[in-house]
Amino acid sequence: MSYTQYTDSQTQLMSIAKAIVSPGKGVLAADEINATMEKRFSGIGVENTEENRKIYRGLLFSATNSQHSLSEYISGVILNHETFHQSNKDGVSFIDVLQKNGMIPGIKLDQGVTPLVGTNDEVIAEGLDRLGSRCSEYYKLGARFAKWRCVLKISENTPSELAMKENANVLARYASICQQNGLVPIVEPEVLRDGDHDLEKNQKVTEQVLSYTYKALMEHHVYLEGTLLKPNMVTAGQSCTKSYTAKDVAKATVTALQRTVPAAVPGIVFLSGGQSEEEATLNLNAMNQLEMVKPWRLSFSFARALQASALKAWQGKSCNATAAQAELLKRSYANGMATQGKYEENSVSTFADTDDNFVAQHVY
């Protein structure tokens, strides 16, 4: 087979990956584990029950008003196992809700992290056991893409070479298994914001992590045209005393990507990493305004940076559902504009647009 000819399965994977990063669209990450939802709900005085989680996510997925619907800005939604099997109040499965509303269902496949023995408090993601059968089952139920998150931290002695290599290999194995079962893998090697490191240090580490990641993906024969990357933006550590502009962040991030990410990858959907809603949008917008070579689409896969205002507006009350949906639609619109470099600072006002969403050692 020629290198320019593709199998039917490769063509399908590439088509889905490109659809997820369609112009003006990005991904809503709604795959938080229950422990994370406990923290989110406690902040608004809502009990963390399965029913409340279902109600909250149901209002997110059906967000619409007289002028706009969520699918105008959101191409896909990442779910966790619980939400993937839930239905709305009318008994319609969330998978059907998303598909009928023009969004692609995705599934979180990693099962958290475990200590990586022989390192300085570093971790590796779990979940490879039975991954093939899990992928097959999720595909049959409607999933068309997946996500797997690995985390690395910056300190004087980390990330270690061992941590970067082992996490890269786990991501590559996951990506290969996904593609064997028809799922587009979103590869997420996150460099945490914890620490006082500066922008330059983060850029160097991000380049190292992505280099290991793509070396492993190539070694595992992963079809890059049928993948997406979900990296951190290159920002200074949360405790860094230096200040940087959105343009600084954008230039450092795009430079790191230019040096490490093959042009075959259709798109890059950034995580927000605890940035405020407005900060994440401005940084994404600045990247898309840069006059630098960018062979991939630059988009978003946000959780906190899309949901913070919606959650604050909702407060666990059914009478606030419409207001919460309006907040999500506004934030989604803002980020959709940012994917095209057309967002204007403070042009969209939401309940929590400047609130800091940082959580130390954050887990999903």
Residues with catalytic function: 188, 230
Instruction: Give the DSSP letter of residue 87.
Output: B
- Asked if residue 128 lies in contact with residue 95, where contact means CB atoms within 8 angstroms, the answer is no
The single-letter code of the amino acid at 226 is: G
Residue with tokens 């040096």: 259
Q: Please tell me the distance from the alpha carbon of residue 27 to that of residue 261, in angstroms, as a whole number.
A: 20
Distance in angstroms (rounded) separating the CA atoms of residues 275 and 277:
6
Element (H, E) at 334: helix 321-338
Residue 240 and residue 206: Cα distance in Å, rounded? 17
Provide the total of helices (H) and of strands (E) in the chain, helices listed first: 12, 10
CB hemisphere CA count around 301 (13 angstroms): 32
The secondary structure of residue 71, as a DSSP letter, is G
Report the alpha-carbon distance of residue 285 to residue 44 in Å, rounded.
30
Nearest C-alpha neighbor of 327 from the set 63, 39, 141: 63
151's enclosing H/E stretch is strand 145-152
